[in-house]
Amino acid sequence: TFHALEWLEKNRSMFKQHVFAPVCLEASVANPQVALMIEAIVPVSTLKMFVTQCDEDYHTFTREVNDRQRLRVDVVRFNRPLDSFRPQMSQSDVRALGFDGYALEFIDAPAPVLAAMCSRDKVHEIPIAVGKVNNERIESEKLFKEYVSDGTRFIITVGRYGSRSATVMTTRVRSDIRLLSSEGESDEVRATRDRLRQEIDDIRSKLDENEGKQRKLSVREQKVRDGHRNIEAREEELRIERQRISKEVATWERQKVHIETRRAQLSSMVSEEQRGEDGGRVQAERQKIEQQLRDNAQERAEALAEIADSLTTMTDLVHRLALVGLGGQSEARQLAELKAEASRQREAIIEAQKLYEQAESSYNLAKAKAKQCLEETRKLTDEMTDDERQAVRDEQARRGRVTLEDLEIELSTCRQRLSMAANSGLSSRIMEQYEERKQRLARMESSVLELELALRQTRKRKLRLRERWEKPLDEIVQKIGTKFSEMFDQIGCMGEVSLQRSGDGV
């Protein structure tokens, strides 16, 4: 689930709508007791599932996470809106029976997440109560199939045949919260959590809006790119056409040179005709050359017309290409701005989530530290000798029974007195009392260290004494065992004498 969540946060742009993180991260319950009861009716698989809002996002998530990455996570898509889930009994009637309300009323989560929980676990039909209710009436009248009261979960099963008697199965609610966040913290931490959640929701809304704009711009960009490719293809065609026309122009130039040559020949022939030399042949040749000139002039005119048309078409396409290029630059700039804004929004979400996780981590660290101190205290108590226990009992008898509550009250009083002394300087007696208690604690610590040192020295002396008599004792017992075995052999029996050692002595 963690790896899938990491992948989702990095690839949210792949989805059309917002995909919700696991339910345990999206949902929270204000009352710790109610949180325990809700975790009793909502399985862990539901608390770890992802929620999508459209079929396309559902298929994208399953393809990328379940199929390609082979991560075993649950993802759901429900079409029913939250308003369509109605309980069979009204809220006023449920409260009249002693319940605090339906489980759905105590869960704070986005509407699609709540709709998924209603579809999967029927949280809108399961009433809960911190105190006791009339179980006999509920079971006899078969008012609910499932409910939770006084730390116990009740499941009522009615037989389908015969007398249709009801069978009740009860389960105690766990005493520790597993995944749901409950607000056992201070009002300040709860306010910070709510503020961060609201900021994350606002940023997600803006991110979804920007992602929608980005998708539209991507479509427009694709269209512009397609148009640009078409224009480039047309430009390539025009380039080929230009090359063809250039070849035709070169041909026309060659023909022009040829015509000029023939014209010179014709002029020469005319001169010869004027001189009366072979007039008939010259006249025929002249007519032939004139016909060739007319044909070449006609071909030249047609080639010039084609060149003019091609140049006009090419100019129009170049103009259109310039307009498309300017439009593409504008769209690309808008797309880059939206991508930058989306990146900033993602960074803001990550920062808000970090703050949220730091608050959670600080709270969990404080709980763990308190638990560790309690375990160390219990361990030290178990390791105390009888003399130390008697000394503690004497001290408690002298000072009276001191509970953890009394110590907390005394600590709070000392802090207030120190704060008053630091702010207003009312009395120097407070600091003197503080120094006296500090010195007394130091003396007590020194006394404990001395007792521990004496205990270690006593154990060492015990080991040295044992080393002195243990080996001779083994030799004596071995000799006794040998004699004992010989005497038993004489009477046809078996026997031996040996020492059995325990962990602390012989």
Question: What is the pLDDT, as a whole number, of residue 126?
Answer: 92
At 66 the pLDDT is 92
- Helices H / strands E in the chain, number of each: 13, 10
- The Cα–Cα gap between 422 and 414 comes to 12
b/e burial code for range 234-255 (CB count within 10 A of at least 16 → b): eeeebeebeeebeebeeebeeb
pLDDT at position 65 is 93
Give me Rg for the CA atoms of the chain.
49
CA angle, residues 186, 187, 192, in degrees to nearest 5: 100
Residue 338 CB partners (closer than 8 Å, separation 6+): 210, 213, 214, 217
Q: According to the model, what pLDDT value does residue 112 have?
A: 92
501 torsion bin: left (phi>0), alpha (psi -120 to 50), beta (else): beta
């009477």: which residue's tokens?
Answer: 491
Write the single-letter amino acid at 90: S
pLDDT at res. 184 = 47
Q: What is the pLDDT along the chain (506 residues), one digit of tens a residue?
A: 899 999 998 898 889 889 999 998 888 888 888 888 888 889 888 999 999 999 999 999 999 999 999 999 999 998 888 889 988 888 889 898 889 999 999 888 889 999 999 999 999 999 999 888 888 888 888 888 899 998 899 998 877 665 567 788 888 887 766 666 555 445 665 676 667 767 777 887 888 788 888 888 888 888 888 888 888 888 888 888 888 888 888 888 888 888 888 778 777 776 665 655 555 665 666 677 777 767 766 776 676 666 666 667 666 666 666 565 655 566 667 667 777 776 776 776 677 567 656 655 665 565 566 566 656 666 766 666 776 667 666 666 665 555 556 656 665 666 565 555 555 544 455 556 667 777 877 787 777 777 778 778 877 877 777 777 777 777 777 777 777 777 777 776 666 666 666 554 44
The Cβ of residue 1 has, within 10 Å, a number of other Cβ atoms equal to 17
H or E segment and range at residue 102: strand 101-102
Secondary structure (3-state) at 334: helix
pLDDT at position 426 is: 45
The CA distance from 77 to 58, in Å, is 7
Packing angle of the helix pair 279-383, 187-274 (nearest 10 deg): 170
Per-residue pLDDT at 188:
66
d(C-alpha 276, C-alpha 282), whole Å: 10
Report the side by side order of strands in the sheet with 166-172: 101-102, 127-129, 146-149, 152-158, 166-172
**Contact at 8 Å (CB) between 57 and 19?**
yes
Largest CA distance in the chain: 177
Using a 10 angstrom Cβ sphere, with 0-12 exposed, 13-18 middle and 19 or more buried, the burial of residue 114 is buried
| Both structure tokens of 394 | 């004497």
The encoded tokens of residue 224 equal 């512009």
Rounded to 5°, the CA angle 80-86-92 comes to 155
Contacts of 26 (CB under 8 A, 6+ apart): 20, 51, 109, 110, 113
The reported pLDDT for the residue numbered 450 is: 79
The 10 Å CB-count burial string (b at 16+, else e) for 372-383 is eeeeeeeeeeee
Neighbours of 443 (CB within 10 A): 10
**pLDDT at position 317:** 63
Q: What is the pLDDT of residue 64?
A: 93
The residues that bridge with 200 in the sheet, in sequence order, are: none
